[in-house]
Amino acid sequence: FSSRRRHTRLLTVTGVQTCALPIYSRTNSNGAEVEIGSQQPGPYYDFLEIRTSGISYYSINSTYYDSVSDANSQGFYIGNRTLLNDVDLFKSGTKIKNGTAASSLRPNQQLYLCAFNNNGITQNYSTKECAFSSIGLGLTDTEAANFYTAVQAFQTTLSRQI
């Protein structure tokens, strides 16, 4: 995965307001790398960019992206939207950012794993080791914490936990 993108073959679904984009990163890296994402002109974003110059960025179903300081890019991240104006970022079971970006149109582009689909142009390849990812509906805080616990148990079973 480290230098190649993976097409998820999934288009973001128009009309679906909630979304969760989880990634389990085993690598501490501080470059301009996108772990999962897409954009179309407007701009309309769905992406999770873990630790670029000490800051993690995320956007789900929005024309706006949010950010938070991040000293280490290892862990289980979830970019999460549950309501029209509630978009959060979790790291290893803890909410590290509670955002309020308004919901907008979804990008009509495939989500790329380990890269950014900028209206059909692949950019910002990730060098991080992605040990787990998924795409789904938005999670409550409790569901996000439980998801972290389950994924961490899975990673521990495989002897690759952080």
Alpha-carbon span 123 to 136, nearest angstrom: 23
Is the sign of the CA dihedral 128, 28, 99, 65 positive or negative?
negative
> What pLDDT digit, counting tens, does each position of 82-124 carry?
988 899 999 999 999 999 888 887 788 888 999 999 999 999 9
∠ CA 77-83-84 to the nearest 5 degrees?
115
pLDDT at 6: 56
For residue 136, give the nearest of 83, 71, 79 by alpha carbon.
79
Alpha-carbon span 59 to 37, nearest angstrom: 9
The label of the residue with tokens 């795409």 reads 135
pLDDT at 2: 44
pLDDT tens by residue, the chain, 162 residues: 444 555 555 555 555 578 899 999 999 999 999 999 999 888 888 999 999 999 999 999 888 899 999 999 999 999 999 988 899 999 999 999 999 888 887 788 888 999 999 999 999 999 999 999 999 999 999 999 999 999 999 999 999 999
Alpha-carbon span 25 to 28, nearest angstrom: 8
